[in-house]
Amino acid sequence: MPTRLESNRPLRVAIIGAGPGGLVLAQLLRDDPGFEVTVYERGEAEGDETSSLTGYRILITPELLDSLRKHLPADVQMLLEKAIGVSQKNGNRLGMMDTMCRLICRVDLAGMRSLCSVSRWKLRKALLSGSREFVKFGRVFTSYEVDGSKGVKVSFSDGESIHCDLLVGADGAGSRVRKQLLPDSSRSSTGVTTIYFKAPYTPETEAMIPWASGIMAMAPRRSMVVAYYKNPAKPYGPYDLNNIDPEDSFLMVGMGCYTNEFFNQDKHPDELTPEELKDECLNRARGWHPLLQALIAITVPNSVFVSHIKTQDPIEPWKTGQVTILGDAAHSMTPFLGQGATNAIVDAMTLAEKLKWTEEKEKETITAGVREYESSMLKRGNAAVKNSLYALDLTFAWGNTPWRAWFRNLALSFWDILTPHPANLVEPFPVSYSESNKKGN
C-alpha cells in the first residue's frame, strides 16, 4: 500500500455500501484533502420507503451522538439533530414480562435510560447530505483484484471497473467483499424469524406502550417486543392508515418464533402476504393479555418487515492489506440487543480516525492504521455478536419448554430483586392508560 509521501496524492478510498457504516466513513473523510472517497451503492437514492428496515429506529448512546456531532460536517450535524426522537419522561427502559403482562424484570440502569432513539430513515437522509459528489447509486459490486502498483481493481455488475488504494466492504451482512476476502467465514442461522410491524403513534396509542417505554414479552418459544420512535417535529401524525410514512413517529411491534413453527404452514413465511403475517401474529397472541393483542391489532400490514435471524461466526484476524470490512459485513448480529448499527458507526469512526492518524504521521503506512482498526473492530464486533446471540438464547433456547421458561423467568425475577433500580421512577405496570383515562373523566 502506498504511503502518503510516496504517492503524493490523495488516498483513493472506495466504499461498497451506503448503510450507516459506509456513509459515516465517507462523511468523515469527504472534506479531508488527503482522501478521495467514493461510495458505491446497489440501491437507488430514494431508498425503499415501504418495506425495508430503513424506516425503523436505532438506539445510540449519548456519547456516540456527541462524537458524531463533533466530527461530522455541519450540514450533516444539523440533519442528525432532527433524526433524534423524543424520549419518554423516564428515558429508554425495557421491561421483561410474561404474556399476561406480569413483570419479570426491569432493565433500567442509567446507561440504558440515556440511550437515544434515532430514526434510521432520517439518519440515512442526514448522512446523504452533500453526497451527490461521492455516492454512486445503482452500482452493484461483484469482485475485486489486488492489482500491484495500480492498487485495487474493483468490478461492478455493469462491466465497469475502477481503481482505488483502499477498498472498504460496508456492504452489510451478506457482504460480497467479505466472501472474497475471507472465503471461509460463515454465518449461522438461529432458526428464529421475527415479523416487525409499525402502528400509528397517537396520544392514545402512546398510552398503550407497556411500561411507557417498551417491553419484551416472553412466552415459551415465542417473543414479542414493543418499542417506539417519536418524531419531535410531528409527534402524533396525521397518518395515512394504509402506509406509515418513514418520517412519522411509530410504535414498533416485533413477534419472534422459530421459523418452522409458524401457525400458517400453507406457505413459506417469505410467501405470506402482509395481511397473512398480521393474522399469524394475532393467532400467536391468542390467550395473551388483551393489551398485547390490541397492540398487534392496531399495526399497519403494509409496514411489515420479516427478518430470518442469522449471526456471524467469529472471524479470526487476517493479514492486513488493501481491502477491509466494517459493520454488518464483519459482525452481523441478532437484533436482540439493538447493537448492530451502533457498531457499524463506531467501526467507521475508528477507521476514519486511524486513516487520518496515518496521514498526520507521514511515514507510517496506511496499512498500520488499517491493522489497528481491524484489531479493535474484531475484538468489539465479535463480543457484540456473542452478547446479541446470548440475548436471543435467553429468549428462545432458555425458554424452549414451559418448564425451562418458568425457571428462566424465576431466575430473572431474582436478578430484578438483586439489581438496584433508580429511585422515584414509579410508573404503572403494564400501562398508564386506564389512569390517564380516569384523569380525563
Ligand X SMILES: Cc1cc2nc3c(=O)[nH]c(=O)nc-3n(C[C@H](O)[C@H](O)[C@H](O)COP(=O)(O)OP(=O)(O)OC[C@H]3O[C@@H](n4cnc5c(N)ncnc54)[C@H](O)[C@@H]3O)c2cc1C
**Nearest-approach distance from CB 381 to ligand X, in angstroms:** 10
Q: How far apart are CA 110 and CA 401, in angstroms?
A: 33
User: Is the CB of 4 or the CB of 125 nearer to ligand X?
Assistant: 125
Taking CB under 6 A as the criterion, the residue among 56, 201, 211, 229 binding ligand X is 56
**Nearest-approach distance from CB 429 to ligand X, in angstroms:** 23
Q: How far apart are CA 228 and CA 262, in angstroms?
A: 25
Q: How far apart are CA 108 and CA 93, in angstroms?
A: 5
Q: How far apart are CA 365 and CA 367, in angstroms?
A: 5
**Nearest-approach distance from CB 142 to ligand X, in angstroms:** 7
**Nearest-approach distance from CB 227 to ligand X, in angstroms:** 8
- Span from 2-10, 39-47, 389-397, 407-415 in contact with ligand X (CB under 6 A): 39-47
Helix (H, G, I), strand (E, B) or coil at 171: coil
Asked whether position 352 contacts ligand X by CB under 6 A, the answer is: no
Asked whether position 344 contacts ligand X by CB under 6 A, the answer is: yes
- Span from 40-48, 72-80, 217-225, 406-414 in contact with ligand X (CB under 6 A): 40-48
Other Cβ atoms closer than 10 A to 263: 13
Q: How far apart are CA 39 and CA 216, in angstroms?
A: 37
Taking CB under 6 A as the criterion, the residue among 335, 369, 381, 430 binding ligand X is 335
**Nearest-approach distance from CB 169 to ligand X, in angstroms:** 9
Q: Which of residues 278-317 bind ligand X (CB under 6 A)?
A: 307
Q: How far apart are CA 272 and CA 267, in angstroms?
A: 7
User: Is the CB of 17 or the CB of 85 nearer to ligand X?
Assistant: 17
Is there a contact between 151 and 6 (Cβ–Cβ < 8 Å)? no
Asked whether position 327 contacts ligand X by CB under 6 A, the answer is: yes
Is there a contact between 310 and 187 (Cβ–Cβ < 8 Å)? yes
- Span from 14-22, 105-113, 199-207, 233-241 in contact with ligand X (CB under 6 A): 14-22
How many residues does the structure list for the chain?
441
- Span from 2-10, 55-63, 83-91, 202-210 in contact with ligand X (CB under 6 A): 55-63
Taking CB under 6 A as the criterion, the residue among 339, 350, 358, 432 binding ligand X is 339
- Whether the upstream peptide bond of residue 20 has omega within 30° of 0, thus cis, is no
- Whether the upstream peptide bond of residue 428 has omega within 30° of 0, thus cis, is no
Q: How far apart are CA 353 and CA 185, in angstroms?
A: 27
Q: For binding to ligand X (CB under 6 A), which residues are involved? A: 16-22, 40-43, 53, 56, 58-59, 140-141, 170-172, 176, 196, 307, 327-329, 335, 338-342, 344
